[in-house]
Structure 1
Amino acid sequence: MDILLSICAFILAILGIAGCIVPVLPGTLLSYGGLLCSYFASYSQMSTSALWIWLAVCIAVSLADYFLPAWMTRRFGGSRAGSIGATIGIFVGFFAGPVGIILGPFVGAVIGELVNDRSDFAKALVVGFGSFLSFFVGTGIKLIVAVGILVHVVADIWVHVVADIWPAFWNWLTNLF
């Protein structure tokens, strides 16, 4: 069971890093799932306080990432329509592929601002830039947390992977062929 938990811990931690970029996958929460798998392995040295701290960080980062586009849109002088447009742009951009994921909040904020006030195109571009910037800030924060969790998972189970799991896997692989 420990081998399965260790494999799941690594896979979830790596998927968590990928999920920081892909909006559909909850990146930090997947990483936290990897941390939980690592914790429940019999040889884990992780404390419960570390689990609670990482949980609080993951929840805070997930909430911040959800509200950041609207907040940054407002911070750059945008209206409520620009904030709503940025939020809609995130979801619509997902269906347009990688470029849409990056440009969706920008385009949504610009369209929202233009719906609100057609006469100030320059302001709409500035507000769109704020929303675009929020994507990079939110992604960066999520990546920092996900990589931190991966490092914690690796530090917790790496010695046992090298000592126990890798030789067992190697024996299985050599017996297979």
Structure 2
Amino acid sequence: MEILGWVLIVLLFAVGMAGAIFPILPGVLAVYGALFVYGLFFGFGEFGVWFWLLQTSIVAAILIADYIVNAWGVKKFGGSRASVIGSTIGILIGPFVIPGVGLLAGPFLGAWIGELLVGADMRQATRSGLGALVGFLSSTVVKLLLQTIMIVLFIVWIAAN
């Protein structure tokens, strides 16, 4: 049973890190779930209030920052609400519609199309698309960094107890 517990934990960590890049995967929730799997297999006694406060705060920060950083990228480049919505749709469907490059093309094209639909010119739509791409890449870096901190914190906490 011990091996199964560790396999599930490592698998959830891997899914979580992949989810930082591929938005269709549960990302941070998989990493957070790994903590509960550890508790179920090995006990929650090693975790205290501070552990859960830190981890839950990081989860909340990731969930909030994911949207805000993406929207910031679009807005910073002069995009409208339509391009923010378009980039969000593009992030979700891009990898399926355009396999391989859809992960990067999706947010760009979504914002670009969103801007064109509200009457922006081609130059502004392109700027908004670039902003969506910058926001998506920045958000991905933030998620990878914070999820890595969650995993390292878990390992350090377990090793210390």
Q: Per-residue deviation at 1:143?
A: 0.6
Asked if the contact 1:5/1:38 (under 8 Å) is kept, the reply is yes
d(CA) in 2 for partners of 1:87, 1:115 = 15
Match of 1:78, SS state, is coil
Report the counterpart of residue 102 of structure 1 in structure 2. Answer: 104
TM-score (norm 1): 0.77
Residues 104, 34 of structure 1: alpha-carbon distance in 2 compared, 3 angstrom cutoff: same
**SS of match in other structure, 2:21:** coil
Partner of 2:118: 116
Matching residue of 1:170: none
Letter aligned with residue 103 of structure 1: A
Letter in 1 for 2:75: R
Task: Give 1:144's aligned amino acid.
Answer: L
Task: State the alpha-carbon separation in 2 of the partners of residues 87 and 79 from structure 1.
Answer: 13
Partner of 2:71: 70
User: With structure 2 as the length reference, what TM-score do the two structures score?
Assistant: 0.83
Shift of residue 90 of structure 1? 1.4
- The unaligned stretches of length 5 or more in structure 2 are none
| Deviation (angstroms), 1:12 | 1.2
The alpha-carbon distance between structure 1 residues 157 and 98, as it changes in their structure 2 partners (threshold 3 A), is: farther
Give the distance between the partners of 1:18 and 1:132, measured in 2 at CA: 18
The residue aligned with 1:164 is none
Q: Which stretch shows the higher mean deviation, 88-97 or 98-107?
A: 88-97
Aligned-pair CA distance for 1:149: 2.0
* AA aligned opposite 2:33: G
Is contact 2:107–2:136 with CA below 8 Å preserved after alignment? yes
Does the Cα contact within 8 Å between 2:58 and 2:150 map onto a contact in 1? no
Q: Which residue of 1 aligns with 2:85?
A: 84
Q: Do the aligned residues in 2 keep the contact of 1:20 with 1:142 (CA within 8 Å)? A: yes
Render the CA deviation track for 1:24-64: whole Å, top value 9, x for unaligned. Answer: 11211111111223345248633232112211211221232
Q: Secondary structure at 1:20's aligned position in 2? A: helix
> In structure 2, what is the equivalent of residue 38 of structure 1?
38
Change (3 A) 1:42 1:116: closer
Shift of 1:2: 4.5
Consecutive unaligned residues of structure 1, counting only runs of 5 or more, are 161-177
Shift of 1:67: 4.1
For 2:16, give the aligned amino acid: G
Instruction: Quote the sequence identity (%).
Output: 36
- State how many pairs are aligned: 159
When residues 153 and 97 of structure 1 are mapped into structure 2, their CA distance, relative to the original with a 3 A threshold, is farther
Task: Indicate whether 1:17 and 2:17 are aligned.
Answer: yes
Q: 2:116·2:125 contact (CA, 8 Å) conserved in 1?
A: yes
Quick one: distance in 1 between partners of 2:54 and 2:160?
23
Query: Displaced runs of 4+ in structure 1, greater than 6 A?
Result: none
C-alpha deviation, 1:93, in angstroms: 0.4
